């Protein structure tokens, strides 16, 4: 006789994922940042913004100042030629101070020249007459004070200039 073993069919249980933390019984709170954390973060953020803006402002002001100095120095060579010609043209008169002021390329300038020396050429020996001749006074040496100004920046220069009369 054959033995029949009676087996019961296998019952498959459904697969269930269990959470690692029981939310109902957990004491951990899932809230956002605290007020203190937000305040500290905003203080740090605003101090970084203020520092960066001050650095940018300083760089901008330095750039503007450099541009002004470049503008003033760019005018200087042509302005020296104008002053030299003006002194030469006006030195035929017996004035001891000369001055002028004007504006060129957005730069205001003012100069004043004071006579330092008024001399003649060195004496020379004339072989035809056999005499030492002292030439008339003809050469003038001037000290020139020049002030250049653009916006709030001002630069002062002092130099010597010479002129002569056609006597």
Residue 154: closest CA among 109, 113, 99, 102: 109
Q: Please report which confidence band the pLDDT of residue 19 belongs to, taking 50, 70 and 90 as the band edges.
A: low
Look up residue 164 and give its two tokens: 């002569």
Q: Which residues contact 100 (CB under 8 A, 6 or more apart)?
A: 83, 86, 110, 111
Task: Return the DSSP state at 106.
Answer: T
DSSP 3-state of 157: strand
Residue 153: closest CA among 74, 62, 76, 65: 65
Residue 163, pLDDT score: 87
Domain ranges of the chain: 35-164
Residue 118: closest CA among 99, 100, 93: 93
Cα–Cα distance for residue pair 149/107, rounded to 1 Å: 6
DSSP 3-state of 82: helix
What tens digit of pLDDT does each residue of 64-73 get? 888 888 888 8
Q: Using only C-alpha atoms, what is the Rg of the chain? A: 46
DSSP 3-state of 167: coil
Residue 167, pLDDT score: 61
Residue 115: closest CA among 99, 102, 134: 99
Please check the confidence at residue 2 and state whether its pLDDT lies above 60: no
What tens digit of pLDDT does each residue of 53-64 get? 999 999 999 998
Task: Return the DSSP state at 163.
Answer: E
Q: Which range (12-16, 75-79, 125-129, 157-161) has the least confidence?
A: 12-16
What tens digit of pLDDT does each residue of 78-125 get? 898 989 998 888 887 788 888 889 888 888 999 999 888 888 888 888
What tens digit of pLDDT does each residue of 22-46 get? 555 555 566 688 889 999 999 999 9
Conformational region of residue 28, where left means phi above 0, alpha means psi within -120 to 50, and beta covers everything else: beta
Residue 152, pLDDT score: 85
**Is this structure's pTM higher than 0.75?**
no
Look up residue 160 and give its two tokens: 């010597």
Look up residue 137 and give its two tokens: 């006074």
């Amino acid at each position: 006789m054959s033995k029949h073993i009676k087996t019961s069919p296998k019952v498959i249980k459904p697969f269930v994922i269990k959470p690692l933390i029981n939310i109902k019984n957990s004491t951990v709170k899932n809230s956002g940042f605290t007020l203190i954390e937000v305040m500290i973060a905003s203080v740090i953020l605003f101090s970084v913004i203020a520092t960066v803006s001050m650095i940018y402002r300083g760089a901008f002001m330095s750039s503007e100042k450099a541009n002004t100095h470049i503008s003033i120095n760019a005018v200087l060579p042509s302005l020296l030629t104008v002053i030299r010609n003006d002194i030469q043209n006006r030195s035929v008169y017996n004035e001891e101070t000369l001055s002028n002021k004007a504006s060129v390329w957005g730069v205001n300038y003012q100069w004043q020249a004071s006579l330092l020396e008024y001399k003649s050429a060195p004496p020379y020996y004339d072989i035809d007459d056999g005499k030492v001749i002292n030439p008339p006074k003809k050469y003038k040496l001037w000290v020139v004070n020049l002030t250049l100004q653009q916006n709030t920046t001002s630069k002062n220069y002092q130099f010597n200039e010479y002129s002569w009369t056609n006597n």
